[in-house]
């Protein structure tokens, strides 16, 4: 897929990331596809447990064992504007090999979900920042230290030189998140993966972090993959959206189209559950019935069918929907309301 004749910076096709365990096989990501373009933000949204974070870790090759990429491709383009430029399939790289280590943290960076557990508690913020900088850049210790101070100032950390000598537990949640963003930006990445960047932050700090990410994106021209369960954050930040459910793509499309004209019952349920300024006091928000199924007990057919208000017996429980574009729209969906079962494969999860 191209956008205005330009190839995507990152193209994920049919990604499957599995975790074999003694109890059974966990299909954390089970056939996901999407493209990320330079300067654009792709939002990946869904409930906890749908596989969002595993997508980001799969791209970077940092999946916890015994997890592994079972199938699919993750194509990285060094220069999307040049059709002859080098392309690398990150899914085929050895996780600790030279190729992936030259890309990870250098061209693709990750803001972890919880910065408190991502920073070492026994090393200063400055030590960890300078280590990340010198790993990919040929700088002296002093120059790396100056660069670290500059990065902290860039992300809005007050008294940046003083903060370099402090430990993560001495910083507030908002400052830790800013320090994590500074580390992710230390090598001017082309792609930033932000995994729940506003989790556990108060509303004011959330707004500051989102404004910071937007400003940095405009300044550096980087692409962003924004992983979150917060649809408000997606509406504010994303250009395109992928809605995930149980490791699969339920719906995707431009953010405005998806919010104003959702096609999948799961997307519709998520949007109905958002609080509105027009809601009456004490009124209960609509919710999606049930919970995400246990990974060892996936439903036959469509995995969303036990919770779906539009469930069709004999169809949704007998066939597995595949992701297909909706005619006349820029959206795609995995749902039999839009694609008859004879157009897709029969059941077999």
In a domain, 294, yes or no: no
Predicted confidence at residue 316, as pLDDT, reads 93
CATH of the domain at 208: 3.40.50.300
* Burial (CB count within 10 angstroms: exposed 0-12, middle 13-18, buried 19+), residue 151: buried
pTM above 0.85, yes or no: yes
As for how many domains the chain has, the answer is: 1
Tokens of residue 153, six digits: 């100032």
In a domain, 80, yes or no: yes
In a domain, 163, yes or no: yes
In a domain, 129, yes or no: yes
Closest CA to 233 of 209, 265, 268, 251: 209
With DSSP H G I counted as helix, E B as strand and the rest as coil, what are the percentages for the chain, rounded to 5?
30, 20, 45
Domain of 150, in residue numbers: 10-228+237-245
Predicted confidence at residue 315, as pLDDT, reads 92
Q: Tens-of-pLDDT digits for all 349 residues of the chain?
A: 666 667 899 999 999 999 999 888 999 999 999 999 999 999 999 988 899 999 999 999 999 999 999 999 999 998 888 777 789 999 999 988 899 988 998 899 998 877 667 788 899 999 999 998 888 888 899 999 999 999 899 888 899 999 999 998 998 888 888 888 888 888 889 999 999 887 767 788 888 888 888 988 988 889 999 999 889 899 999 999 999 999 999 999 999 999 999 999 999 999 988 877 777 777 787 888 888 888 888 899 999 999 999 999 989 999 999 999 998 889 999 999 998 886 544 444 4
Predicted confidence at residue 286, as pLDDT, reads 82
How far does the chain reach from its first CA to its final CA, in angstroms? 27
In a domain, 318, yes or no: no
């Amino acid at each position: 897929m191209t956008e205005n004749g330009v190839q995507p910076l990152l193209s994920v096709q049919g990604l499957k990331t599995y975790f074999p365990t003694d109890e059974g096989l966990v299909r954390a990501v089970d056939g996901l596809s999407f493209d990320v373009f330079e300067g654009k933000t792709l939002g990946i949204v869904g409930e906890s447990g749908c596989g969002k974070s595993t997508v980001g870790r799969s791209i970077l090759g940092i999946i916890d064992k015994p997890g592994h990429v079972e199938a699919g491709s993750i194509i990285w383009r060094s220069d999307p504007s040049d059709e002859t430029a080098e392309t690398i399939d990150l899914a085929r790289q050895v996780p600790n090999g030279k190729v992936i280590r030259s890309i990870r943290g250098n061209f693709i960076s990750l803001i972890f979900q919880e910065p408190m557990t991502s920073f070492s508690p026994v090393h200063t913020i400055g030590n960890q920042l300078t280590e990340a900088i010198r790993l990919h850049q040929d700088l002296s210790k002093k120059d790396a230290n100056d660069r670290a101070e500059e990065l902290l100032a860039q992300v809005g950390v007050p008294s940046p030189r003083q903060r370099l000598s402090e430990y993560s537990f001495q910083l507030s949640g908002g400052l830790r998140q800013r320090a994590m963003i500074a580390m992710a930006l230390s090598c001017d990445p082309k792609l930033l993966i932000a995994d729940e960047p506003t989790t556990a932050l108060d509303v004011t700090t959330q707004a500051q972090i989102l404004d910071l990410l937007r400003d940095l994106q405009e300044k550096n021209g980087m692409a962003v993959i924004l992983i979150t369960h917060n649809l408000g954050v997606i509406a504010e930040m994303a250009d395109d959206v992928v809605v995930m459910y149980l490791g699969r793509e339920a719906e995707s499309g431009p953010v405005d189209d998806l919010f104003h004209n959702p096609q999948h019952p799961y997307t519709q349920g998520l949007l109905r559950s958002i609080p509105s300024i027009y809601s009456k006091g004490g009124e209960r928000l609509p919710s999606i019935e049930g919970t995400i199924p246990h990974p060892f007990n996936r439903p036959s057919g469509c995995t969303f069918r036990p919770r779906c208000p539009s469930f069709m017996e004999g169809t949704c429980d007998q066939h597995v929907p595949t992701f297909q574009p909706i005619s006349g729209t820029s959206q795609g969906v995995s749902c039999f309301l839009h694609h008859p079962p004879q157009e897709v494969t029969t059941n077999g999860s």
